[in-house]
C-alpha cells in the first residue's frame, strides 16, 4: 500500500493509493496543535505503507517530524515531492522552479493527467492560488492572494471602525443565495472577500482563454473554501477536494498512464 500525505498550512490530508485508485481523502488539523496530538492520529499501526509520498508546504520542522515518525513507526523513509522544471507532461513557467509551491505544482500534474485541454487550477485554502496551463502542458504562471479568512481577519484587525462594527453584527456566514450585497458589516466583509476571490478566479479563466488555447479550459477548484467560491463564480468549475493527492500519485508513478484514471473511491 502507498500512503499519500498532503501537508498544508493548517491541515494534513491523506489517502491510500490502491491499484491507481485513491481511497476517500481524510484530514486532521495540525495548526496550533501539539505534534504529539496529531502524530498519534496519523501514525497509526494499521497503515504500514510500503511507500510514503509527501507534499509538504509547512516547513522543515514539519518535514523532520514526518521523517522521524515514519521511520520509527512504519520503518519507511518518506519521499518528499519537489517542484521541477518539467514532469508528467507539464513544463513549469518559473525560472527557479523550486520557488513554485509544491502543492501548486502537483495540482498542475493532476490537471494534466485528467484533461488534454488547457486548465485553470484554483486552490482555495489559507491562501488562494490560481495557476494556468495551456493545452500543450505549458504552465503560464499564477497568482497568490489571501484566502477568505485571512482577508476578513486582516480587515477587521487593521480598521478599528469596521472591526468594532463587525463585532456587533451577526456572526453568520455569507449566504450566496441572497447575492453579493450584505445588510450588516460582518457579512459585508466576508461577502467582499468571497466575491473578490471568485472574481479573480473568473478573471484567471478569461485570461487563459485570451491566450488562444482553443477549447474552453477545464477549471478545477480544490481547498477548504472551494465549494463556497464555486457557488459565486460565473465560470463553471469542478471541485476536486483531493487534487493535490491526485497529483502526488502522478508524481510518484502510482497513477495509471491514461488520462482521467486517478479517481477517488466513493
The x, y and z cell numbers of residue 196, run together, are 473578490
Residue 8 · residue 226 · CB < 8 Å: no
- C-alpha pair distances (Å), 148 with each of 63, 190, 193, 260: 27, 7, 5, 30
Q: What are phi and psi of 219, to 5 degrees?
A: -120, 120
In angstroms, how far apart are the furthest CA atoms of the chain? 57
Say how far apart CA 34 and CA 38 lie, in whole Å.
7
Residue matched to cell numbers 485570451: 210
Question: 238-239 and 127-133: which strand pairing?
Answer: unpaired
- Neighbouring CB atoms inside 10 A of 7's CB total 25
Specify whether 123 is catalytic: no
- End-to-end alpha-carbon separation of the chain, Å? 18
Catalytic residue among 6, 103, 202, 225: 103
Residue 261 · residue 9 · CB < 8 Å: no
Rg (C-alpha) for the chain, rounded Å, is 19
Q: 187: burial class by Cβ within 10 Å (0-12, 13-18, 19+)?
A: buried
Query: Which of the residues are catalytic?
Result: 103
Amino acid at each position: 500500500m502507498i500512503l499519500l500525505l498532503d501537508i498544508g498550512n493548517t491541515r494534513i490530508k491523506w489517502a491510500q493509493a490502491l491499484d491507481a485508485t485513491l481511497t476517500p481523502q481524510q484530514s486532521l488539523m495540525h495548526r496550533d496543535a501539539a505534534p504529539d496530538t496529531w502524530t498519534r492520529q496519523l501514525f497509526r499501526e494499521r497503515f504500514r505503507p510500503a511507500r510514503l509520498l509527501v507534499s509538504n508546504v509547512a516547513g522543515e520542522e514539519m518535514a523532520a517530524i514526518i521523517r522521524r515518525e515514519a521511520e520509527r513507526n512504519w520503518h519507511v523513509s518518506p519521499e518528499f515531492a519537489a517542484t521541477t522544471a518539467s514532469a508528467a507532461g507539464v513544463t513549469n513557467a518559473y525560472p527557479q522552479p523550486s520557488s513554485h509551491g509544491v502543492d501548486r505544482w502537483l495540482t498542475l500534474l493532476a490537471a494534466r493527467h485528467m484533461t488534454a485541454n488547457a486548465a485553470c487550477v484554483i486552490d482555495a485554502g489559507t491562501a488562494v492560488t490560481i495557476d494556468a496551463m495551456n493545452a500543450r502542458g505549458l504552465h503560464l504562471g499564477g497568482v497568490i492572494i489571501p484566502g477568505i479568512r485571512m482577508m476578513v481577519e486582516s480587515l477587521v484587525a487593521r480598521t478599528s471602525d469596521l472591526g468594532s462594527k463587525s463585532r456587533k453584527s451577526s456572526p453568520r456566514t455569507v449566504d450566496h443565495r441572497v447575492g453579493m450585497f450584505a445588510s450588516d458589516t460582518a457579512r459585508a466583509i466576508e461577502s467582499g472577500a468571497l466575491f473578490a476571490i471568485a472574481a479573480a478566479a473568473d478573471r484567471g479563466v478569461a485570461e487563459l482563454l485570451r491566450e488562444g488555447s482553443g477549447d474552453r479550459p477545464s477549471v478545477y477548484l480544490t481547498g477548504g473554501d472551494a465549494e463556497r467560491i464555486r457557488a459565486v463564480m460565473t465560470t463553471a468549475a469542478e471541485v476536486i477536494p483531493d487534487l493535490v493527492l491526485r497529483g502526488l500519485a502522478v508524481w510518484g508513478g502510482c497513477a495509471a498512464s491514461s488520462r482521467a484514471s486517478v479517481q477517488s473511491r466513493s
